């Protein structure tokens, strides 16, 4: 596994600071397979070339010197292409046409690349940096049309005119936005999103051409963004990355501290989802460990940073990109020796994981969202198209990741999944054919996704319907006498919506074969109706419908046990792995059908004492644990090889490589 290090510009400009940096790099050379030098520090998109050129001259000297010192791969990360956020505007002003939002709001530091003067500026900048002699160049993740100073861009006159020419219309910004807000204007919104994607594709082709004109051997890569932002841009990695001729990429998701431990899981899944969409030409996938803005172990611990790296490999990525050094040269590595020493030791484990899992695929349940979501979705109940995913929590795929917190394996590879997990209106991003494909295997639905399937005429395949009423006042879910509730019958699950939000729906069974696993009860125990059910449809698929707080406050023993049994049923006996005791842990599983790698991480703040974990058909496993490697022999139990996992501290990982 490759370890790459990002280095900030301020550490490179002055000789005395650079000398301190080099001393640190040399000290930890075993973690420095590749060096990526940032070209800037301010996120303004139009810092004048007259200021950047002297810095580029210094960068050229540093690139040459680092190569001379024996660092095999040294490249540049172009810090901004047209601007990340509104920063530096008091210093650099607005020399080009700003990005324009859907409401006519103007960015202060981000500029539209469709204007000829800005486009020339961008290409001149890339040409200048290509002349610095880098082995590679990164295009950073400001290349998007979302949150570049304004939320949704770009509605400037040039972009509106270009769009009108393409579709044969005469919209103004106001009339275009109004038309896009019509519920059934799916084709118009799809055309707009495709137009954004096309602009990115064309820009990447231009960047590739000017860079390769300087040096045809410079490798190119792109720092991509999570699906919450990218579906508005089209999330067309299959077009963008080949246009750039990129053979490496960095999937992105912000997790900057360890104050919310489960973010470790969120980022691993989100980054793996992006990587799963990359074309085969991208062979170098660099998960970024980003400790912005303080770059201190006080902000993010060594264990959290190492856990990120382990889960990146567990999710199929093959490199890590460390953005862990402070941009302040006084702080270069000042408190980071323990982390880099730990990484140097841990990379032995990571190398073994990568080698063992080569050619494997992920397996688990697929948290469903389509890259075409914003191109296909109608609008419902007066909602706006211009709403971010985190402003519409019911329609946020990140909700479904909570299942991984109670031990349900998730995968971002739907073709290898046990089934799909839906929430909100995310089914709207899939075609009928795609939804039927999921329904032939298995699905987990919440109430809003039941409504989405109903609208598509697919209710008969899920066995229930529900109306739009949501119950939020003094309601609980009571587990029924069903095999998945063995030992839990009568358990009353109360997430206290008055305190914590969420709600419930009553499900209306439309098939006599619907199996009720939960009823909705009122304040005095009165049965209001069915709120959780299982169903096997005529396609041979299995369905679980969770009408009460499906992905909210699921971290209880009762819900953990119930859902692990439900998921075993959904997998039709094909579950590859199995927990044998309640444990607040996540598992990431990869397999080639003969060998399996299971990575476990303790999500509790309490230590997890020795516990049993099963892998179907396994006889032996190599355990990677705390820098040690040991061979374990399985105990056979109903077709599973059962292994004893040693004590895991909070956020600690253990890896079983089983055969």
- What does the block give as tokens for 633? 């022999």
CA gap 279, 292 in Å, rounded: 29
CA gap 152, 145 in Å, rounded: 6
Band (29; pLDDT cuts 50, 70, 90): very high
- Greatest CA span in the chain, whole angstroms? 78
The H or E element spanning position 614 is strand 611-616
Class of residue 487 by CB neighbours under 10 A (exposed 0-12, middle 13-18, buried 19+): exposed
Mean pLDDT of the chain: 96
| Per-residue pLDDT reduced to its tens digit, 640-659 | 999 999 999 999 999 999 99
Residue with tokens 């190569």: 67
Query: What domains appear along the chain, each with residue ranges and CATH number?
Result: 2-356 (3.20.20.80), 363-574 (3.40.50.880), 579-658 (2.60.40.1180)
| Per-residue pLDDT reduced to its tens digit, 250-290 | 999 989 999 999 999 999 999 999 999 999 999 999 999 99
Report the 10 Å Cβ neighbour count for 103.
Answer: 13
Tabulate helix, strand, coil % of the chain (nearest 5).
35, 25, 40
> Do 370 and 376 form a contact (C-beta atoms < 8 A)?
yes
| The pairing of beta strand 635-637 with beta strand 640-645 | antiparallel
Band (204; pLDDT cuts 50, 70, 90): very high
- What does the block give as tokens for 379? 């609008």
The strand order across the sheet containing 515-521 reads 365-367, 419-421, 442-446, 542-546, 527-536, 515-521, 476-479, 492-493
Q: Which pLDDT score is estimated for 562?
A: 98
Mean pLDDT of 152-162: 98
- What does the block give as tokens for 417? 């999944």
The H or E element spanning position 240 is helix 237-244
Torsion of CA 233, 238, 244, 249, to 10 degrees: 90
Mean pLDDT of 527-556: 98
Give the SS3 label for residue 374: helix
pLDDT at 388 over 90: no
Q: Which pLDDT score is estimated for 547?
A: 98
- Alpha carbons within 13 angstroms on the beta-carbon side of residue 266 total 19
- Out of 197-211, 223-237, 381-395, pick the least confident: 381-395
The H or E element spanning position 546 is strand 542-546
pLDDT at 390 over 80: no
Band (395; pLDDT cuts 50, 70, 90): confident
CA gap 137, 261 in Å, rounded: 33
Mean pLDDT of 462-491: 97
Class of residue 381 by CB neighbours under 10 A (exposed 0-12, middle 13-18, buried 19+): exposed
> Do 638 and 629 form a contact (C-beta atoms < 8 A)?
no
| The pairing of beta strand 419-421 with beta strand 365-367 | parallel
Q: Which pLDDT score is estimated for 393?
A: 78
pLDDT at 389 over 80: no
Give the SS3 label for residue 194: helix
Q: Which DSSP category does 293 fall into?
A: T
Q: Which pLDDT score is estimated for 332?
A: 84
Q: Which pLDDT score is estimated for 553?
A: 96
DSSP collapsed to 3 states, 164-211: HHHHCCCCCHHHHHHHHCCCCCHHHHHHHHHHHHHHHHHHHHHHHHHH
Q: Which pLDDT score is estimated for 334?
A: 87
CA gap 375, 567 in Å, rounded: 31
CA gap 10, 657 in Å, rounded: 43
Q: Which pLDDT score is estimated for 443?
A: 98
Q: Which DSSP category does 393 fall into?
A: G
CA gap 30, 25 in Å, rounded: 9
CA gap 350, 358 in Å, rounded: 12
Question: Please, which residues have CB within 8 angstroms of residue 130's CB and are 6 or more apart in sequence?
Answer: 137, 210, 211, 214, 215, 218
Angle, to 10 degrees, between the axis of helix 237-244 and the axis of helix 186-214?
20
The strand order across the sheet containing 596-602 reads 361-363, 585-591, 596-602, 653-658, 620-625, 628-633
The H or E element spanning position 56 is helix 49-68
Q: Which pLDDT score is estimated for 176?
A: 98
| Per-residue pLDDT reduced to its tens digit, 307-334 | 999 999 999 999 999 999 999 988 888 8
> Do 364 and 356 form a contact (C-beta atoms < 8 A)?
no
Q: Which pLDDT score is estimated for 295?
A: 95
Q: Which DSSP category does 634 fall into?
A: P
Mean pLDDT of 388-405: 87
Band (392; pLDDT cuts 50, 70, 90): confident
Class of residue 157 by CB neighbours under 10 A (exposed 0-12, middle 13-18, buried 19+): middle
Report the 10 Å Cβ neighbour count for 548.
Answer: 28
pLDDT at 101 over 90: yes
């Amino acid at each position: 596994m490759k370890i790459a290090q990002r280095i900030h510009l301020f550490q490179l400009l002055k000789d005395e600071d650079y000398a301190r940096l080099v001393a640190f790099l040399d000290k930890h050379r075993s973690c420095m397979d590749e060096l990526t030098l940032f070209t800037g520090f301010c996120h303004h998109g139009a810092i004048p070339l007259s200021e950047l050129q002297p810095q580029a001259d210094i960068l050229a000297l540093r690139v040459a010197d680092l190569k001379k010192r024996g660092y095999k791969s040294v490249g540049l990360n172009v810090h901004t292409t047209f601007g990340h956020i509104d920063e530096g505007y008091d210093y650099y002003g607005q020399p080009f046409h700003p990005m324009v939002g859907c409401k006519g709001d103007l960015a202060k530091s981000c500029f539209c690349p469709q204007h000829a003067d800005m486009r020339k500026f961008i290409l001149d900048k890339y040409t200048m940096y290509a002349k610095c002699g880098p082995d590679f160049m990164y295009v950073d993740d400001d290349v998007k049309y979302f949150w570049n100073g304004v939320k949704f861009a770009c509605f400037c006159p040039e972009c509106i005119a270009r769009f009108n020419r393409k579709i044969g219309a005469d919209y103004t910004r106001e009339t275009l936005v109004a038309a896009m807000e019509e519920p059934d204007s799916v084709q118009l919104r799809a055309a707009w999103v495709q137009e954004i994607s096309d602009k990115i594709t064309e820009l990447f082709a231009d960047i590739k051409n000017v860079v390769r004109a300087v040096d045809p051997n410079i490798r190119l890569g792109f720092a991509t963004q999570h699906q919450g932002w990218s579906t508005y841009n089209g999330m067309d990695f299959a077009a963008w990355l080949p246009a750039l001729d990129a053979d490496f990429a960095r999937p992105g998701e912000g997790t900057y501290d360890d104050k919310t431990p489960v973010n470790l899981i969120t980022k691993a899944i989100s980054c793996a989802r992006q990587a799963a969409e990359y074309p085969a030409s991208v062979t170098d996938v660099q998960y970024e460990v980003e400790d912005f803005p303080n770059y201190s172990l006080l902000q993010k611990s060594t264990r959290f940073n190492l856990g990120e790296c382990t889960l990146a490999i567990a999710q199929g990525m093959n490199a890590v990109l460390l953005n862990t050094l402070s941009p302040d040269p006084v702080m270069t590595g000042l408190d980071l020796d323990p982390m880099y020493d730990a990484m140097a030791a841990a990379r032995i484990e990571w190398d073994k994981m990568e080698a063992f899992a080569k050619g494997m695929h992920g397996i688990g349940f697929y948290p469903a969202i389509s890259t075409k979501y914003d191109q296909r979705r109608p609008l419902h109940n007066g909602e706006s198209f211009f709403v971010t995913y985190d402003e519409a929590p019911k329609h946020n795929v990140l909700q479904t990741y909570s299942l991984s917190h109670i031990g349900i394996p998730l995968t971002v590879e739907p073709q290898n999944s046990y089934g799909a997990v839906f929430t909100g209106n995310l089914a709207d991003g899939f075609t009928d054919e795609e939804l039927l494909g999921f329904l032939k295997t298995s699905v987990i639905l919440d109430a809003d996704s039941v409504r989405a399937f109903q609208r598509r005429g697919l209710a008969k395949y899920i066995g229930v319907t529900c109306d739009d009423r949501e119950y939020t006042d003094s309601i609980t879910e009571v587990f029924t006498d069903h095999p998945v509730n063995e030992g839990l019958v009568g358990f009353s699950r109360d997430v206290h919506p008055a305190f914590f939000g969420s709600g419930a729906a009553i499900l209306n069974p439309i098939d006599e074969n619907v199996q009720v696993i939960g009823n909705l009860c009122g304040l005095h125990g009165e049965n209001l109706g069915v709120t959780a059910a299982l169903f096997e449809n005529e396609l041979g698929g299995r369905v679980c419908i969770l009408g009460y707080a499906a992905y909210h406050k699921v971290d209880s023993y009762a819900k953990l046990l119930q859902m692990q049994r439900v998921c075993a049923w959904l997998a039709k006996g094909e579950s590859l792995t199995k927990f044998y005791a309640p444990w607040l842990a996540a598992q990431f599983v990869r397999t080639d059908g003969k060998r399996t790698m299971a990575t476990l991480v303790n999500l509790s703040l309490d230590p997890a004492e020795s516990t049993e974990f099963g892998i179907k058909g396994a006889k032996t496993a190599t355990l990677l644990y705390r820098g040690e490697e040991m061979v374990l022999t399985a105990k056979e139990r109903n077709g599973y090889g059962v292994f004893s996992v040693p004590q895991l501290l909070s956020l600690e990982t253990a890896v079983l490589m089983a055969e």
